[in-house]
Amino acid sequence: MARIRGTLGPMEVFLLVFGVLLIGALAAAMVWQERHPPPEPRDAVVYGVEDSVVYVWEGLNQEFRGRITRSDVRRILEWELHFLQQPALRGEEEPAVVGSVEAAAYVQDHAHQAGHTYDPDVIFAVLDLQAEYLAAIGAIADVAESTEEPPR
């Protein structure tokens, strides 16, 4: 059976229709997914850097505000968060403690290396307010006691 050049046979028509339907189904699924996102967990805690900076800045007394800027507050908070998120910096077995002396020393060392000088009392005031902020949003709590025995 001879075919005229430029016409499609039954198999080509089937594959073309199947491909168009497949692409249409995928597009419809993507549209549906975008319109129906999964619900956010009700108890999710979201740490906002800007919210934290504002909270700390507004909590500082006038003396401290005269010695640092909002950018300094942001820098101090970022360095402490870096310290808290990196177990290797504080020891793998050590818990992350917000506002600890070790965290303050880490912040002060990085500030000095970057050419910023902050007095320890300023650093501790910022870290204390950050701990207050984290507690207020439910991001930190007391250390939980383990009921399991450690592996031997």
Per the model's pLDDT, the better-predicted residue between 2 and 102 turns out to be 102
Count structural domains, the chain: 1
Stated length of the chain:
152
118 closest CA partner among 78, 80, 64? 64
The model's pLDDT over 11-34, given as tens digits with 9 standing for 90+, comes to 888 999 999 999 999 999 999 888
| Residue 26 belongs to a domain | no
Per-residue pLDDT of 60-112, as tens digits, reads: 999 999 999 999 999 999 999 898 888 887 777 777 788 888 999 999 999 99
Q: Would you say residue 146 has pLDDT above 60?
A: no
Say if 43 falls within a structural domain.
no
pTM, 2 dp: 0.63
- Answer whether 118's CB lies under 8 Å from 111's CB: yes
Range of the domain at 119: 49-136
With respect to residue 13, please indicate whether it lies within any of the assigned structural domains.
no
140 vs 108: which has the higher pLDDT? 108
| 123 pLDDT higher than 70 | yes
Q: Could you count the other beta carbons within 10 Å of the beta carbon of residue 131?
A: 18
Q: Which two tokens stand for residue 16?
A: 């073309």
In this structure, what token pair is assigned to residue 70? 């909002």
User: Is residue 117 domain-resident?
Assistant: yes
Alpha-carbon distance of 132 to 128, in angstroms, equals 6
For residue 15, tell me if it sits in a domain.
no
- Whole-number average pLDDT of the chain: 84
Amino acid type, 80: E
Residue 18 placed within a domain: no
Residue 39 in domain? no
Q: Would residue 12 count as lying in a domain? A: no
Asked whether residue 151 carries a pLDDT value surpassing 70, the answer given is no
Q: Residue 18: its pLDDT value, please?
A: 92
User: Left if phi > 0, otherwise alpha if psi is -120 to 50, otherwise beta: which for 144?
Assistant: beta
Residues 150, 151, 152: CA angle, nearest 5 degrees? 115
**Mean per-residue pLDDT for 125-144?**
84
